Amino acid sequence: MVTAEVAEAIPAQTPEDRFEAVVAAEQRIEPRDWMPDAYRATLIRQIAQHAHSEIIGMQPEGNWLTRAPSLRRKAILLAKAQDEAGHGLYLYAAAETLGVDRAELTEKLISGRQKYSSIFNYPTLTFADVGVIGWLVDGAAICNQVPLCRCSYGPYARAMVRICKEESFHQRQGYELLMTLMRGTEAQRRMVQDAVDRWWWPSLMMFGPSDADSPNSARSMAWRIKRHSNDELRRRFVDMTVPQAEHLGVTLPDPELRWNEERGGWDFGEPDWSELNRVIRGQGPCNAQRIDRRRAAHEDGAWVREAAVAYAAKRAAEQSHTEEENGK
Amino acid sequence: MHDHTTSTTDDDHVYLSLAEATPGPEGEGRWAYGTGFADPLLGVDTALPAGTDGADLAAYCQMLGDDALVLSQRLIEWCTRAPELEEEVALANLGLDLLGQARLLLTRAGQADGSGRTEDDLAYWREDHEFRNVRMVEAPNGDFAYSIARLLLFATARGALYEALAGHPDPVLAAVAARGVKELAYHREYATAWTLRLGDGTPYSAERMRAGLDAVWPLLEELFTAHPVELRVGVDPATLREPVLASLGAVLAEAGLTVPEVPPLATVLGRAGRDGVHTEALGPLLAELQVLARAHPGATW
Amino acid sequence: MTEPHTGSAQTGSAHSGSKAGWPLYEVFVRPRRGLNHVHVGSLHAADDRMALLAARDLYTRRNEGVSLWVVRSDAITASTPDERDPFFEPSGDKVYRHPTFYDIPEDVPHI
């Protein structure tokens, strides 16, 4: 099979010029284009972390798969966990176009050398957590990810288009579950409020440190990897979420939350960054457990993966032998 | 030409489009779970056909529904533990197929016996001894080889049964079986491919595959042993023995494995899974499956 | 990481069957009858059969396609960036080959 990638004619002489011109023209950089080393490294790190987050993110909800309280909820949750595995795979595939191997990235994840979203280091303690993860965590992820659909790196942007579509349904199922619980018993309503109380601040922290403390943001914005600042996305999330919380009938646990007429948006308090930093440093409630599970799956599966390789090698050897025979 | 300087507006447009859902198989609905797909019961008459014994049909649907439910629960236990990420997706697919079958069959059971019990009433509020699944599906997962061996045996036998049931006089059971045939064909293909890879892979994997088959094989006979209800409203599973064993034998031969020569697992006073007499593995499985629903009687989720 | 890439079109790197890992496959889906197969991404599989089953699960689990192709990434030969100009310039003047040559009003959907 022979392919050739068609790039629109952009009058540029050096590879650097061509790269800059493609990015400036809002076209996409494709895998075989020249790109600055730092651009490649930034993308690999970001896409890998994103992929790891999808895979580790299966665990907190997976915690409730076997105990889901109705068969419909069980099916929805299983389909969602499956989507997350799929998202991880799309993203690893995008990262591999940059010249890394998924096996290397997996090694980096299970040895703790690459991070994933710290939100998944919090425990899911009740079934309402499943709904709140869909509503708040997936909602925050969507805010982060929609702009990535226009990321300057083609394979990443294309993966994100598909992921965003699926995430929007993840968010809707979460909200629908919470609406059902809020219409339910007193115990169910308490469960929802408790889950909102525990997940609200970690969700806000998903957007990363405030712009003043985010040194790499400017370069990522210049490269069109990032489109909006962390604080801008956080504000957008709060503005989208507050009316949803009101409709649901839950209280967001922030006494400083109030409407700012002048700005036309919601003012909100500052997350406890010291706690998040502890979670990032590995002291979160579930850091060790999440990595252990992923490592165990990878290591326990090694003999299975090796068997498949050995089997394929035997079949390939047979085939080349047959071809040789036929060649005579 | 789009004006890319107004990026916020562009993104707002995407947020809006994410919130819209257009109907139809090509529409946005397909991104949601369980929508945008053909309903297997679309246009199927749910009235009991004349001359059908409702209690028998209900019991039969419970047997097949419980098989599917309990095995799906075991497959779900693989989630986040699969040997490779691609297999996460595949195993979840198998679990979803079986869960879908279980929901339709249990719903039918509640219609057929006139009790009006829902799929959830039956899944969450029956005791262990009221479950009528074969003992094979409740056995713990073991390693990947054991799970594949069980899947191969179950999918081969259940695919053959569904083929025969696609012509059943009950239109609902027939529709479930007709769709199930396609799903089980895929399960069998998946299990067959892995049996070959493990059986003819490395010496270690071959040993694991042999051990897995040896362990699950004693549970196979129960899938060919008729309960009186099956003889009255279903397909006599004894008729499946020969074709299923022939099919399994062919797969094992290709994998360089031999058919285990092990006796079937004994029954208890002649009773086994179809009679509600199970192994010790079912109790903990159901305790986990039912715990939350039972903590909130009458609650809607 | 920045040496010249001479491998597959999509991966931009030559490795595909690293260590004990499974080789990389590229996946192409025909979204519906009448359309071409389109590249949708890649996956790892030990053999062709596994690649096809995994592609079905991964890229068409929402009925996205009516037909699937999988091909080992290392079986794809691609033009290198350096070859791009001579390779494509001959068609550069045939602007009518490009869809953007045809002016279609913005309010016509799905074109």
Query: Which residue in chain B has the smallest CA separation from C42?
Result: B86
- Which of B85, B104, B209 to mutate against chain A (most A CBs within 10 Å)? B85
Quote the CA–CA distance of B214 and C17 in Å, as a whole number.
33
A69 and B CB contact within 8 Å = yes
- Cβ contacts of residue B11 below 8 Å, gap of 6+? A146, A147, A150, A227, A228
- Cβ contacts of residue A70 below 8 Å, gap of 6+? B120, B124, B293, B301
Which tens digits make up the pLDDT trace of B201-247?
999 999 999 999 999 999 999 999 999 999 999 999 999 999 999 99
The answer to whether B7 contacts A147, with C-beta atoms less than 8 Å apart, is: yes
Query: Out of A4, A37, A97, whose CB is closest to C12?
Result: A97
pLDDT of residue A220: 86
pLDDT of residue C80: 61
CA distance B293 to chain A (A): 5
Q: b/e for A255-287, b at 16 or more Cβ within 10 A? A: eebeeeeeeeebebeebeeeebeebeeeebebb
Q: ipTM score here?
A: 0.91
A319 and C CB contact within 8 Å = no
pTM value is 0.88
Greater confidence (B68 vs C57) lies with B68
Partners of residue A145 in chain B, C-beta under 8 Å? none
Which long-range contacts does A85-88 make (Cβ < 8 Å, 24+ apart)? A85/A54, A85/A55, A85/A58, A85/B85, A85/B88, A85/B89, A85/B92, A86/A166, A86/B89, A86/C58, A86/C61, A87/A51, A87/A54, A87/A159, A87/A163, A87/A166, A88/A51, A88/A52, A88/A54, A88/A55, A88/B85
Band (pLDDT 50/70/90 cuts) for residue B18 is low
What distances in angstroms separate CA A271 from CA A121, A204, A208, A327, B42, one per listed residue?
Answer: 17, 7, 11, 71, 50
Which tens digits make up the pLDDT trace of A206-246?
998 888 877 777 888 888 988 888 999 999 999 999 999 99
Query: Which residue in chain C has the smallest CA separation from A14?
Result: C82
Domain boundaries, chain C: 24-79
Query: Out of A97, A158, A309, whose CB is closest to C46?
Result: A309
pLDDT tens per residue across all 328 residues of chain A: 444 455 555 555 788 998 999 999 999 999 888 999 999 999 999 999 999 999 999 999 999 999 999 999 999 999 999 999 999 999 999 999 999 999 999 999 999 999 999 999 999 999 999 999 999 999 999 999 999 999 999 999 999 988 988 888 888 889 999 999 999 999 999 999 999 999 999 999 999 888 887 777 788 888 898 888 899 999 999 999 999 999 999 999 999 999 999 999 999 999 999 988 899 888 999 999 999 999 999 999 999 999 999 999 999 999 888 877 777 5
- C109 CB-contact burial (10 Å; exposed 0-12 / middle 13-18 / buried 19+): exposed
Strands (E), B82-127: none
CA distance B50 to chain A (A): 30
- Which of A71, A183, A290, A315 to mutate against chain B (most B CBs within 10 Å)? A71
- A19 CB-contact burial (10 Å; exposed 0-12 / middle 13-18 / buried 19+): buried
- Second CATH level (architecture) for the domain C24-79: Roll (3.10)
Which residues 40-79 of B are in CB contact (within 8 Å) with A? 69, 73, 76-77, 79
Contact between C43 and C34 (Cβ < 8 Å): no
